[in-house]
Amino acid sequence: MSVLPTPCHIIADVHLGVAAPAIERSFEKYLRTLPGDARSLVINGDLFDFWFEWNSVIPRRGFRALAELAAIRDAGVEIVWIAGNHDCWGGDVLRDDIGVTYHVGPWTGEIGPWNVRIEHGDGLRDVEDRRYRMIRPVMRSPFAIRMFRWLHPDLATRIAMGSSSASRTYRALDGGSGLRTIGHTRLQADRSLDLMVLGHSHVAALEKVTDRGIFANPGSWLNGPTYLRLTDEEIALCSWNGSAESDRLNVIDRRA
């Protein structure tokens, strides 16, 4: 079983590449504070609005954030990156050059004393995501990846950025209720879970569901910026205010 130490920060949906320069710089500043506070970081998908690795080329946008991730990894902060629908083509650059644990699909494990399941959330809603579930296997197939790699990076990036705009420009039309319902259902079905984390909707959430289980969504750095912070005793939904002492929007005590 995967195990991460606390304190642990969880972020999602930064969408580097389309985020305004001020938002991107604030995110880089936030990353620089992590070695003084966090022992682990979970990126729950869509850190980039588009990520793809050619044999000798990577996307230029968001390079400064990658450098910050490499620096905090060198400082001893463990990093788990869970693939989202915008950055599901990660590979050797992230794993070997940056040093993150890149994971496709749901991540289950322990964060300190917490029994946790983390999933980006794309494709989970029965009706709304039906079309996406049909094309996702094609997009992620080895054949499609090989064909896409044959395109010039400038052309490939232009195509990818143009086709992804609909899923990055607004919060979920249902206000996050679809993924919230899924999270609640899974917590009620698996009473061994302490924490269920979803992203994707861009709607931050932190709420007690069962006597043990908590549902959380870190929200989106584009809309917040917000993130989750876990210690052995509590989970907090925080709003970045430019300093290591972020505003705590909501807190749930694990022991309660």
- Position 67 scores a pLDDT of 92
Instruction: Give all domains of the chain, ordered by start, each with its CATH number.
Output: 2-253 (3.60.21.10)
pTM summary value: 0.88
- Position 167 scores a pLDDT of 46
- Separation CA 249–CA 237 (nearest Å): 6
pLDDT digits 0-9 by tens, 93-104: 888 999 999 998
Half-sphere exposure for 251 (CA within 13 Å, toward CB): 9
- Separation CA 48–CA 109 (nearest Å): 24
What percentage of the chain's residues is helix, strand, coil (to nearest 5)? 30, 25, 45
Model confidence band, residue 51 (pLDDT cutoffs 50, 70, 90) = confident
How is residue 94 written in tokens? 């992230």
pLDDT at 76 over 80: yes
The answer to whether the CB of 4 falls within 8 A of the CB of 212 is no
